[in-house]
């Protein structure tokens, strides 16, 4: 099943998502649907709040032949070293801006089998983990822009918001 993507202005993108208490059939089905949705629209990551599901889960496909299904992630370490690179978000179509992120991240999560995974990631994967994790906290990449860049995208964000309000 392909989900509709909730875009900027939807309140579901601003809530703190809830922990997954049990990896049951329903959770597995949601994860499968999220992967299907991400692949259909050629995204590299998709978090549950982006499809209106208030759970701490996301999926990532950065093209390393490994589709990650991430449940209840915790960021254990962020490097002091920073990298600046362009980001976009399926929930904010048409907006691409440079964002500062830690260049390396250590993250702990459960996979779809309920196994605890600890991963140390860098570069693009590190960025994807941080971006998707933010979604679970109700944070969007545009929140992390410099004041100047924020001003540059504010009009586009207003338009997206209006579309949501119109329904
Ligand atoms: Ni996003």
Predicted confidence pLDDT, tens digits, the chain (167 residues): 999 999 999 999 999 999 999 999 999 999 999 999 999 999 999 999 999 999 999 999 999 999 999 999 999 999 999 999 999 999 999 999 999 999 999 999 999 999 999 999 999 999 999 999 999 999 999 999 999 999 999 999 999 999 999 98
Residue 77 designated active-site: no
**Buried residues in 86-99 as b, exposed as e (16+ CB within 10 A):** ebbbbbbeebebeb
CB contact set of 80 (below 8 Å; sequence gap of 6+): 102
Tell how far the Cα of 44 is from the centroid of ligand 1, in angstroms. Answer: 9
Cβ pair 60, 129 in contact under 8 A? yes
Q: How far is the C-alpha of 34 from the C-alpha of 36, rounded, in Å?
A: 5
CA distance 135 to 107: 15
- DSSP-assigned beta bridge partners for residue 57: 71
3-state secondary structure of 73: strand
Residue count of the chain = 167
Element (H, E) at 156: helix 147-166
- 134, two tokens: 């933010």
**What predicted TM-score, i.e. pTM, was given to this entire model?**
0.97
Report CA(150)–ligand 1 centroid distance (Å): 16
Q: Ligand 1 center to residue 166 CA distance, Å? A: 22
156 Cα: distance to centroid of ligand 1 (angstroms): 16
- For residue 46, the CA-to-ligand 1 centroid distance in Å is 6
The single residue of 36, 86, 132, 165 carrying the catalytic annotation is 132
* Residues 141/47, Cβ–Cβ less than 8 Å: no
How many CA atoms lie less than 13 Å away from 128 in the CB half-sphere? 24
- In 17-115, beta strands by DSSP E: 45-47, 57-60, 68-78, 82-87, 97-102, 104-110
φ, ψ of residue 54 in degrees (nearest 5): -85, 55
């Amino acid at each position: 099943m392909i989900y509709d993507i909730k875009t900027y202005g939807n309140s579901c993108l601003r809530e703190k998502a809830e922990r997954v208490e049990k990896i049951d059939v329903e959770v597995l089905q949601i994860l499968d649907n999220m992967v299907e949705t991400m692949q259909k629209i050629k995204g590299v990551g998709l978090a549950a709040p982006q499809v209106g599901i208030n759970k701490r889960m996301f999926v990532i496909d950065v093209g390393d032949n490994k589709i990650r299904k991430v449940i209840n992630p915790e960021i254990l370490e962020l490097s002091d070293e920073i990298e600046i690179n362009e980001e976009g978000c399926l929930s904010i179509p048409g907006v691409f801006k440079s964002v500062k992120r830690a260049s390396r991240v250590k993250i702990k999560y459960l996979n779809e089998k309920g196994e605890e995974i600890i991963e140390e990631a860098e570069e693009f994967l590190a960025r994807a983990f941080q971006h998707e994790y933010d979604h679970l906290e109700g944070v969007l990449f545009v929140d992390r822009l410099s004041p100047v860049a924020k001003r540059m995208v504010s009009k586009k964000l207003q338009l997206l918001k209006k579309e949501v309000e119109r329904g």
